[in-house]
Structure 1
């Protein structure tokens, strides 16, 4: 089981905040640092000092870390054109020495689009249609052999024959993550395009059911390449009940609810629940760290949880 750290910087974080977590996560031996791709805060927070762009941030972190993998859960297809996005991700992959994982989703948070003047397709069907075309284009651009050209004719996107450059450092492409619990289209797209399928913030039972749907889609597609299965859960661990409660209070949550809907409790409780996700098929768990100032939280997981998972 590999543990990855997952940040939500739109809730209020500077680049320096994210860099401090990235360096701590790397020093403590975590597998990867991922961040959300959002331009507007959610819930009661004011989001100060304001959002940071996911791929600009990851480009900076690529040059200021050396081992830890870097990625998004999930880049929104609605935010960027597929050609320029393929260029950005390929460049960050090269800047990092081949340490990028590309998490990619259809986009969903309508208010952030309105707040920053980003067109938001009127229906979920159109969003997913555009998303599927973008997956075709981005993976097609990356996998086109150097010296060959790429052309695409879709309903929403058309690319004239071009050089399909630059190439990522990882060949033929960085790992692609697709996530969500949609019952039909998401498993099909994961089977076709993804190297990893992620279920975010779902119960153990719902996560296992989503894994089963994607396994069935993989089997039906005739795919032979392996699929990595993973889960994302909010983190709130403490040495005792007082510390657990203090951490829950700082992120505006209640301990009983977090124990039910996240990875909360003592280190031993986390080991037990992570083990149950592993039994369901998860090979990686993304720990959503909502309080980026609390680097001791990471140290506690590294010293008291990780050794029990080996």
Structure 2
């Protein structure tokens, strides 16, 4: 009952402002605009290969990077799985940054503005205050990313004729994308509440995640894939799961399961950390005034 009241308060704060619409628009805008741009680029490259450069699709011609012909490069823009994976890579970066900026008020912004209110006389506690945030916002972000990923797959299948996306893998990929976003959002909310500096933490989390992904990619290129971590979900969704026709789900089941479990476990740990830190803090909503002389 007490948790429900806190959830209602968070939902009212979230839905009656631009924040809810911003979260929805952020993900759906990316998954709609990017496939359209890729479609236009593919058509343009096909016209160039046939009319301007006189290079037919798939024929041998002038070599570009990696020994690919211009026709081979144009052919990539007709691959539904590859275009989906490329779009999802942008979803992970752009959407996550927008989410963190929008959720700054809930992730420590109230403490920073001295607007944090917990009616202890009604039986509510810091635990209820924090848990409501870790339930509502990650769930909304999960649903948003899941639905937008499904829409992205449907658009890619409709726009690109080659390597169409399997429905079962699309559902799994969308769920994994949602789990990763839940992990990242929980880390951000926890650090924002602990430091009362959501703006700084948004920048820190974004930079750290970007650097970590870059380092892991470099390590994987030299020493093989690194499994069983939240970033493995990103590599699967924006990499081989749908882009490669040779992807084998049974061979990756353990990696997927453990990566999901670890991501959710870290999310729970971050919520407990936020509760512990906020309990140890002295909440003071009074504005400090300097003495007048």
Normalised to the residue count of structure 1, the TM-score between the two structures is 0.25
Which protein is bigger by CA-based radius of gyration? Answer: 2
Which one has a larger percent helix, Structure 1 or Structure 2?
A: 2
Normalised to the residue count of structure 2, the TM-score between the two structures is 0.26
Return the structure number with greater relative CO, CA threshold 8 A, min gap 6.
2
Which one has a larger percent strand, Structure 1 or Structure 2?
A: 1
